[in-house]
A and B are shown apart, each in its own frame.
Chain A
Amino acid sequence: MKTRFIHLCLAATVATVALTPAAIAADLTGVGYLNQAQVGSLPTFAKANTQLAQAKAVLDRQFVAAMKGAKTDADRQRVALEFQQKFSDKQNELMGPVLERTQMAIAQVAAKNHLSIVVDKRIVVYGGENVTKAVVALLSSSQAITAPTATPPPSEIGFVDNNALDSLPTVKEADQKLSKYVQAQRKIYEQRFNAAKNNAERTAVAASYNKKVAAKQKQLLQPLVDKTRSATAAAAKKKGLLVVIDRADVVFGGVDITKDVQNALLK
């Protein structure tokens, strides 16, 4: 009887410890998430997008006319750059104020909720704090949005700009090699595909093509991916970060370690 009682006490203790770890979890600084699609569909964004589309249509017509007048490659390049700049200016003019106000609203909501990072909803599988409603409410109100006075606590979540890492010479070279390989294989497999007698053969050719390209991709890019991953993990460790995500998924806050990773990869 006494033994049973001891067992029951032990079971209760173990169950409490095992089933409620969150109760004694170390204090992680807040992680928020935002449904960017929902924010993007607000009337202010829709209006700015419509205006931008109209401006682009006008610029496109002007661009075609200007290109007709361009006689040399240098002229064409100049015209292309000129119109790219014009479009970029228009984009900043129309979208800039809207984006700035949104960023301010997110910062204010994040500060109010003590969040050190706000990410895109898509990458949060579990937990976190949904700030979409608060941000939408703030943006929909007529009140002026000011920058928060209190800065958020430093985040344990870091981010890297994948586009910047993709422009490293080693990555570019591997990309070019892969692209050439894919082009060459495509020609070979197009012939095999056309020579195939029936659908089963054609499916087999397509599957073989996919496998071959995937294998080459793995051979060329996997070492770079592994190297980048370990350099990123090392940089994260140095800065006391737990995980590192892509810059494209970060809406606000976080710690940028792109430069650290770039430097490590260039060594």
Chain B
Amino acid sequence: MSKMRFSNKRALVVAVMLTALMAGCARVDVNSAKIRGVGYVRVDQVIKHDPLYPQLTKLNDAIAAVKLQYAGSPPPSTAGIAAQTTQLAQELKVAGEQTSRILAQTRADYEQRERAAIAAALAAVGNTGAGDRAGQSMGATSAAQAQAIAKQATQGFVRYQQSVVREDRATIAKIAHQIQLKAARKYQARVMEDQQREAQLSYSLSKQDAPKVVAIKTRLSNLALDGATKKRLQGELKAIEQRERAAIDAMRNRHKASLTAYGKQLQARTNAQIAQQAQNIQRDSQSKVAMQRDAVLAKLRALGPAPLPQNLSPATKAKIETIHHQFTGEFEAQAQKIIANYDSTKADIDRQYAALTGANAGATGAAGQELAKLERRRVSLYRQMETQVRNDAQRVARRLGLRVVFQGVIAASGGYDLTNQVTKDIESLNK
């Protein structure tokens, strides 16, 4: 009697299940004129429910971060920076040499004109050997001019030294910032990789256990289940969850330990790199300052004072003095213009150098490479998710008996939209 009742109950369950299945199929009549065996899935929408989607968002943010950091033109490569720096240094050298040449030429020109003026003045008062005296007089002119040039050269040298120190400090700070940033990005990338691996493990474990979990849950939903079986099944379910959690926790702990070690290693490397860069910059600067000092000293030595003429009358001396002052003044004014021109060129080159070693210092093309790497990872991750969606859609399509399923559909006035069903499948895997 009880056997008969049990048999009836089973038959009833089968009938209920089949009715439900039939009801489900009745909702999706793939043979209808409106569907005609054609289905479609909106992959972009389904992907938003994929467990790996947060990783994709993070990658998008990382890509935006790199783009924000290096907005505008792409950062130059190491070779590019080196070439441009060499070119700027060359331009500065040429400008310096040109300035010295113009100064020397101007000086010679004024000397000649002053000598001629003094010779004429001496000849006017009947003084013989005017040329010699004029030459001697020029010594006095040169001494005064030398003083002015020496003063300017010394001031220029001090200004140069200060600007080098300032540039050094700024460059070191910027390079240090860039190195630290690069290290931080590497660290962040490692964190993301670890998180991705954890998410993937979680995903693959859920996927692997999904049939078992679904089977247990289906059995648990049976109202006729006795207490002991129910408890056993709940235990099995819990054990699966615990096993999954333990595997993920183990991976997380491994990642944590390796991340700590990596962080320390990265910090040490960063500090060493900064110290090395600072040392290089200071060494270069010291050599630049020394070169400039030598150039100034050479210029000062060349401007050494000559002895003053002794055998001239006070009136002639006064006249020569007037001529001398006139030419000295003119030369100084001209020299100021030449030096100002040089200063302007140098400032322009300095600006270019600062731009080169400033915003993009330390980038050395790494940003471009990093961007490409992030884009590649993004494409790879998207493809992985897309494949999952396509596989799920294929399964659903096979079950429903569709003849063809598209993705990338712009609009539809018929066909069967698989998006919701595939989304549910993906979400159930996520759960």
Contact = CB atoms under 8 A, between A and B. Distances in A.
A223 interface: no
B40 A243 contact: yes
A135 interface: no
A199 B180 CA distance: 10
A158 to B, nearest CB: 9
Contacts of A202: 65, 69
Contacts of A199: 181, 184-185, 187-188
Given A123-B408, A244-B411, A203 B11 contact: no
Contacts of A4: 7-8, 11
Contacts of B393: 125-126
Contacts of A190: 68, 71
Interface in B354-374: none
Contacts of A229: 410-411
Given A14-B22, A22-B403, A125-B407, A206 B38 contact: no
A234 B413 CA distance: 7
Interface stretch (B29-37, B75-83, B156-164, B207-215): B29-37
A160 B14 CA distance: 48
A28 B65 contact: no
Contacts of B403: 22, 25, 28, 31, 127
Given A21-B25, A233-B412, A126 B402 contact: yes
Contacts of B30: 21-22, 25
A128 to B, nearest CB: 5
A249 B57 CA distance: 27
A99 interface: no
Interface string B405-423: 1111111111100000000
A243 B71 contact: no
B18 A125 contact: no
A263 to B, nearest CB: 15
B41 to A, nearest CB: 6
Contact of A7 (B14, B25, B38, B181): B14
A209 B66 CA distance: 12
A178 interface: no
B318 to A, nearest CB: 62
B397 interface: yes
B252 interface: no
- How big is the B interface, by class? 35 or more
Contacts of B21: 14-15, 18
Nearest to A128: B404
B22 A18 contact: yes
A25 B39 contact: no
A100 B62 CA distance: 44
Given A233-B413, A242-B413, A244-B410, A205 B68 contact: yes
B68 A11 contact: no
A139 interface: no
A194 B33 CA distance: 59
A228 B62 CA distance: 32
B36 A242 contact: yes
B184 A26 contact: no
B410 to A, nearest CB: 5
B408 A127 contact: no
A25 B37 contact: yes
A110 B188 CA distance: 52
B15 interface: yes
A21 B39 contact: no
Contact of B404 (A124, A207, A210, A237): A124
A142 interface: no
B400 interface: yes
Nearest to A257: B411
Q: Mostly helix, strand, loop or mixed at chain A's interface?
A: helix
Contacts of A246: 408, 410
A252 interface: no
B90 interface: no
A243 B406 contact: yes
B411 A236 contact: yes
B175 to A, nearest CB: 16
Interface in B106-145: none
A10 interface: yes
Contact of B11 (A3, A23, A157, A230): A3
A170 interface: no
Contact of B61 (A23, A156, A157, A203): A203
B413 A241 contact: yes
B64 interface: yes
A257 B173 CA distance: 61
A156 B187 CA distance: 53
Contacts of B7: 4
B235 interface: no
Nearest to A229: B411
Contact of A243 (B14, B19, B38, B400): B38
A103 to B, nearest CB: 22
Contact of A203 (B8, B62, B181, B407): B62
B329 interface: no
Nearest to A194: B69
A28 B37 contact: yes
Contacts of A156: 36, 38, 414
Interface centre among A126, A229, A243, A245 (most CB of B within 10 A): A126
Interface string A121-140: 01111111000000000000
Nearest to A15: B18
Nearest to B64: A206
B25 A18 contact: yes
B406 A125 contact: yes
A17 B411 contact: no
A211 to B, nearest CB: 9
B304 interface: no
Interface in A22-49: 22-26, 28, 31
Interface centre among B62, B393, B410, B413 (most CB of A within 10 A): B410
A15 B185 CA distance: 57
Given A124-B405, A202-B69, 11 more contacts: A17-B22, A18-B18, A22-B37, A28-B36, A28-B37, A156-B38, A186-B71, A209-B68, A228-B410, A243-B406, A244-B410
7 contacts: A18-B18, A22-B402, A22-B403, A28-B403, A122-B408, A123-B408, A203-B188
Q: Which 9 A-B pairs have the closest CB atoms?
A: A21-B401, A232-B411, A206-B65, A22-B401, A127-B404, A242-B414, A237-B413, A126-B405, A126-B397
